[in-house]
A and B are shown apart, each in its own frame.
Chain A
Amino acid sequence: MLLINCPYCGERDQSEFTNGGEAHVARPKDPDQVNDREWSEYVFVRANPKGIYYERWVHTHGCKKWFNAIRDTSTDEILKIYKMGETPPPIKRFKNTLRSPSGEPDVGSGNFTVKKP
């Protein structure tokens, strides 16, 4: 279970939150000019990386406010939390700890036992 640091309420249990999927998905600027394939990408296709992932959360059983998070989906480590409207911090700022080819790190991955570094 994740411990999430709500930017408004502080650290709370994950069960208080709801995940809102990928963050920063932009709606097509001119919907009339968009073809079916592009619409399909906007409606159905979302990033699903094994690694660094920009996502949204809402503090459903708390302040009910939305915010963004950057999480490593291969370890579930939350790397950064920032408010809605703030510029997303670039990925390069985080050191990629992924080790094996598919990105199984030593710590926290389901394919390895948890070891303290």
Chain B
Amino acid sequence: MKKKYSIFNIVKNAFSNNENWKKMWRNPEPRKFYDIIIVGGGGHGLGTAYYLAKEHGLKNIAVIEKGWLGGGNTGRNTTIIRSNYLWDESAHLYEHSLKLWENLSTELNYNVMFSQRGVLNLAHNEHDIKEIKRRVSANKLNGIDSYWADPKQIKKLVPIMNIENCRYPVLGASYQPRAGTARHDAVAWGYAMRSDELGVDIIQNCEVKKIRTKNGKVYGIETTKGIIRAKRVGVVASGHTSVLAETAGIKLPLQSKPLQALVSEPIKPVINTVVMSNAVHAYVSQSDKGELVIGAGTDGYNSFTQRGGYNTIEDTLRAIIELYPIFGKMKMLRQWGGIVDICPDASPIISKCEIEGLYFNCGWGTGGFKATPGSANLFAHTIAKDKPHSINAPFNLERFVSGRLVDEHGAAAVAH
């Protein structure tokens, strides 16, 4: 039965002390065979299952997750959504995603709290100015709402920012008004609920140990709940994708590193947009609860510990305090790390591979959340049709051989 949320529903359930809400998704045992298995129950994986069932009308799909839904990088990012990327390929990809975001709450009938509060990318030196102005122009050519903002306009948008009396004064910024943030858990839950309704089996606490192949074709997966056979397997396991790929004999050009973020104690609204700075590496936004959500850089070494070092946080907070002296005495409440899979060109891979029926959606590195609906939508298309959509065709594995890279180090915002 389709679960609808409405005011009547809330009132009705309030009378029974909110104890009779139906479970949002089933918790089935895995079957022996599926047509399509998606490995990884984050936003990208659940979204892929949703679009496979919804747009391509496919049945007999499972999502396998080793922990709980959205417990990996979907729950560990700083929820920034934007599409102001430099190259045409990436601009199309992220803009496709942003357009899906704009309608996502309606599509899922589940509030993902998408808030288009705008994103500023600051310039602190001559080179930044040139690079950002170039990116703004490129965005405009691709139909993306991107503008150059001078220090006066920035001060008006973010009055608490110290733009002059600091070591790296703010000389300007790019501004994308349609960018913003969303609630990360809600994205995973919304997709999970709706794909479950369409018959997708969501299997949690089931870890994939190995991808099995036979004569150059996918045979199935070995999990902690036994062997599950499948015709097609899509791997969307972020930091662990390359570990899984290796079990099928495929070497992906990925490096897994911890990326940290932290939130402060909640305060009254002081900043109503998202501000990012590549040069001093600080980005901050304020959640609806009032916490400042701060993103740090990647730690400089490969690791799977979901933790990271304090020196990285210190670097980021130093820059934050310089830009916003008002935050100087605030306390940070929580800190965490997610394991991101970084590609040499800072662009993702949504691709088939040499093994028939095996697909990868990985390499999102430090900026995968913004792409969740777009990535899921295109990955579903790639799996369903066994060939990439024209938007994700440039993001294939072959580009590392042909040399046709999509170098987005400048727009990726997190230095790596």
Interface residues of A, Cβ cutoff 8 Å to B: 1-2, 13-15, 18-19, 21, 36-37, 40-41, 43-46, 48-50, 53, 55, 71, 73-76, 100-102, 108-111
Least CB distance from B290 to A in Å reads: 27
Structural contact, B254 and A40, CB atoms closer than 8 A: no
Given contacts A14-B309, A101-B207, are A48 and B302 in contact (CB under 8 A)? yes
Q: Which residues of A sit under 8 angstroms from B66, Cβ to Cβ? A: 102
Q: Which residues of A sit under 8 angstroms from B303, Cβ to Cβ? A: 73, 76
Max chain B CB contacts within 10 Å: which of A2, A21, A110?
Answer: A110
B401 at the interface (CB under 8 A from A): yes
Structural contact, B307 and A110, CB atoms closer than 8 A: yes
Given contacts A15-B309, A15-B311, A48-B302, 15 further A-B contacts (CB under 8 A): A14-B311, A18-B300, A19-B302, A40-B400, A40-B401, A48-B252, A49-B243, A50-B240, A53-B302, A73-B304, A73-B305, A76-B305, A100-B207, A101-B224, A111-B67
The total of Cβ contacts below 8 Å across the A-B interface reads 83
Least CB distance from B255 to A in Å reads: 5
Structural contact, A48 and B401, CB atoms closer than 8 A: no
Tell me the bound Cα distance from A49 to B303 in angstroms.
9
Tell me the bound Cα distance from A87 to B51 in angstroms.
51
Tell me the bound Cα distance from A113 to B352 in angstroms.
37
B48 at the interface (CB under 8 A from A): no
Interface residues of B, Cβ cutoff 8 Å to A: 66-67, 207, 209, 224, 240, 242-243, 246, 251-256, 300-307, 309-311, 337, 339, 344, 400-402
Tell me the bound Cα distance from A50 to B245 in angstroms.
12
Q: Which residues of A sit under 8 angstroms from B243, Cβ to Cβ? A: 48-50, 102
Q: CB within 8 A of A110: which of B246, B251, B300, B306? A: B306
Given contacts A50-B243, A100-B207, A111-B67, are A45 and B253 in contact (CB under 8 A)? yes
Least CB distance from B97 to A in Å reads: 25
Q: Which residues of A sit under 8 angstroms from B209, Cβ to Cβ? A: 101-102
Tell me the bound Cα distance from A101 to B310 in angstroms.
29
Q: Which partner residue on chain A sits nearest B242 by CB separation?
A: A48
Tell me the bound Cα distance from A13 to B304 in angstroms.
20
